[in-house]
Copies of this chain bind each other. A is one copy, B any other.
Amino acid sequence: MEMDAQEKLLAAGTRLFAQKGFAAVSIRELSQAAETNSSLISYYFGGKEGLYAAVLEKQFASVDSVIASVRERHLSPVERIEAYAQGVLTAHTQNPYIIRFLYSEFANPTPAFEAIQKEVRKIYEFLHQTINEGITRGQFRADLNPAHAVLAIAGMMNFYFISRPLRRYFLPAEGEHDAQYFEDALKIYLNGVTKHGD
């Protein structure tokens, strides 16, 4: 462990802002969770908003590295879709709170939104280009609308994590089927977009 007050505040902020949203968390609650003093939030981060910005920045830095590692490899369209799915799984597994922040910013943008938008756009363009290439190469159905095909795969992959808290209430003791879901969803998707009668 060995965390100083600044690190403990960042950790507490990540958890609490993700769980309850920015407005619902007070600096008193934050400082108690971090076992430190509320005045240190201003000292280190310039206030509650500054702490929130620091939390977001750290979250999305890790996303960026995942994207970059996928982009630089030379892969076929199908392999790229698979790499995207694996990247989503990796990102959400490494960082279970990121989907909350992403959605919070969708719904109610803060100044940090611009940076997030840039990340999302990179992913969108990567997928869009992948679909187009798959069509051009004759591997994907020619009647595919690329923008819609992108939304379809992104929805299949991200909704799994979005719906996680709710699923825990009514699905039989979901162990950790994450990898299996991604495999199954990929099969449905690739089967749905590729040409048949091969």
Report which A residues bind B (CB closer than 8 A): 19-24, 100, 103, 106-108, 117, 120-121, 124, 144-145, 147-149, 151-152, 154-160, 162-163, 165-166, 169-171, 177, 180-181, 184-185, 187-193, 196
Are B107's CB and A151's CB within 8 A?
no
Report B-chain residues with C-beta under 8 Å of the C-beta of A24.
21-24, 108
Are B21's CB and A166's CB within 8 A?
no
Given contacts A22-B24, A117-B169, A169-B117, contact A162 B193 (CB under 8 A): no
Report B-chain residues with C-beta under 8 Å of the C-beta of A185.
148, 151-152, 155
Instruction: Give the shortest distance, in Å, between A47 (CB) and chain B (any CB).
Output: 16
Instruction: Give the shortest distance, in Å, between A113 (CB) and chain B (any CB).
Output: 9
Are B188's CB and A120's CB within 8 A?
no
Report B-chain residues with C-beta under 8 Å of the C-beta of A181.
148, 151
30 contacts between A and B (CB under 8 A): A19-B108, A20-B108, A21-B24, A21-B107, A23-B23, A23-B24, A24-B24, A100-B107, A103-B103, A106-B163, A106-B165, A117-B166, A120-B170, A121-B170, A147-B171, A148-B184, A151-B156, A151-B159, A151-B163, A151-B185, A152-B156, A154-B159, A155-B157, A155-B158, A155-B160, A155-B162, A155-B163, A188-B192, A188-B193, A191-B192
A196 to B157, CA, bound (A): 24
